[in-house]
Amino acid sequence: MVAYDDTTDPFPVTGWDAVVWVVGNATQAAHYYQSAYGMELVAYSGPETGNRDHHAYVLRSGAIRFVLKGAVDPASPLVDTHRRHGDGITDIALEVPDVDRCIAHARSEGATIVEEPHDVTDEHGTVRLAAIAAYGETVHTLVDRSQYRGPYLPGYVERTSSHTKRPGAPKRVFQALDHVVGNVELGKMDEWVAFYNRVMGFTNMAEFVGDDIATEYSALMSKVVASGNHRVKFPLNEPAAGKKKSQIDEYLEFYQGPGAQHLALATNDILASVDALRAEGVEFLATPDSYYEDPELRARIGEVRVPISELQKRGILVDRDEDGYLLQIFTKPVGDRPTVFFELIERHGSLGFGKGNFQALFEAIEREQARRGNF
């Protein structure tokens, strides 16, 4: 947290509310996020609750919520969303203390209001909601749930499942959401940085990746914006010219436009998290042994809380800056298309995003891209 006064913020944001996905099979995805990612089913909407259009499963892990939606009705608009994008994130919902104030500011800055502020009520209370358009077809729903005590939103019922964690599995694989990265079109990164600055009052964070940090074939540019209290962080990528198709180009092609590229899941024990995920069959990008053996890199990494050999065994990356260090690792894409994936991140002071790892990471990603024939 940073020193922050929300009375002077034109668009105060409390934190993340939910990450809403549209997937091809929400019933099975809900099982996957419980069994592999250790999330807990807490709420549900579907035909049995009067929602004949789709299934929606609400899962929690610590402070964060995923909502997984999949069409039931063949005429559901979610079918078209899924045809365009494959499994992906349609809504990065944010909790705000004053929906109307945020929307008034967003409107005055020219934002597209997808949903005007309105109340929804059930026996658990009232939620005030609105939504604004962000990059591609992604939206930010703004949620004030201060007058609500239900399991998620009106229309959802509480639901648990019989899924039982394996003996020895960590209580939680991740505790919170650290950041959500957006991929935007070539030449649009600065426009979207300006959008978050102007419309949502986000400030720029120091980390900046120019096209100088890239492999010969795969380049990107990246800047980071954050909400006033720094709880919500959005790195934004755009492709940069390379000799071959960059990972951002590949995403834009298969997602059919801009969208959320990865979710960074915060863990306080990345070794246990990675071991638990791997035991469930989750696949990570491989890191070359040279990454750990390079003397220059080792000197930069310095002392971390675990032996380097433990990181190497799991392919976990290290980055360090003036404030501390972070440990991180990236999964392979979670769906059928080479689009959205996860990062696991354990921070020790560092406020960065692993800029120092881009080179090693790109090389690993490119090996995967080549195997898919998209490079």
Minimum Å distance from CB 353 to Fe ion? 5
Residues forming contacts to Fe ion in the complex (CB under 5 A) are 264, 343, 353
Rounded least distance, CB 231 to Fe ion, Å: 16
- What is the side-by-side order of every strand in the sheet holding 113-122? 113-122, 125-133, 139-144, 88-95, 15-22, 64-71, 54-61, 40-45, 157-158
Nearer to Fe ion, 32 or 342 (CB): 342
Smallest gap, in angstroms, from Cβ of residue 343 to Fe ion?
A: 5
Indicate the residue among 106 and 264 with the shorter CB distance to Fe ion: 264
Query: In this complex, which beta carbon is closest to Fe ion, that of residue 23 or of residue 329?
Result: 329
Closer of 9 and 343 to Fe ion (Cβ): 343
- Cβ at position 328, least distance to Fe ion in Å: 7
Residue 303 C-beta: closest distance to Fe ion, Å? 23
Nearest distance, CB of residue 264 and Fe ion, angstroms: 4
Nearer Cβ to Fe ion, position 137 or 319?
Answer: 319
Nearer of residues 255 and 353 to Fe ion, judged by Cβ? 353
